[in-house]
Amino acid sequence: MAEILQKGDIVCLFGELGSGKTVLTKGIALGLGVKKTPINSPSFVLIRQYAGGKIPLYHFDLYRLKALKDIMSLGCEEYFYDEGITVIEWADRLNYLLPEEFIKIELSFRTGSKRQLRFSAFGGRYKKILKRIHANIRH
């Protein structure tokens, strides 16, 4: 997936606590070449920036933010269309601030340690990304 993403792309993650949102973000970071910095959930920092890869990664975790005004104070929009890739955990908290175009990944629990990922695309560019992702998935 990281090979397909480009600067300005937005990945919105949805799912219960512990469903694998941070693990998926770690995989995207690794695919971008971010190796020296450990990728942790930014639950208490809210936003982490990772450089060192081919494209910067902006990692948001909105879990602790309940009020939309708190989210608005983060200045999310400044990151969304910047020079990096934005990954947003708990993107459902964005409400009407959710970008018009993005790739949506819903993570859910399966049996044992398995997870199910459901991808959706919003916008023309993201529909192309989704087609490429599906073409690369091993069934």
Residue-range domain boundaries for the chain: 10-136
Where is 71: in which H helix or E strand?
A: helix 68-72
89-126 pLDDT per residue, tens: 999 988 888 889 999 999 999 988 899 999 999 999 99
Higher pLDDT, 3 or 37: 3
Q: Is the CATH number 3.40.50.300 carried by domain 10-136?
A: yes
Hunting for tokens 């819903």 — which residue is that? 106
Please answer whether residues 12 and 91 qualify as being in contact, where contact means their C-beta atoms are separated by less than 8 angstroms: yes
Average pLDDT of the chain to the nearest whole number:
84
CA atoms within 13 A on the CB side of 108: 5
* pLDDT above 60 for 139: no
45 confidence band (pLDDT: 50, 70, 90): low
pLDDT at position 103? 96
Higher pLDDT, 138 or 19: 19
* pLDDT above 80 for 20: yes
How many angstroms separate the CA atoms of 47 and 59, rounded? 6
The model carries a pTM of 0.86
Mean pLDDT highest for which of 61-65, 66-70, 97-101? 97-101
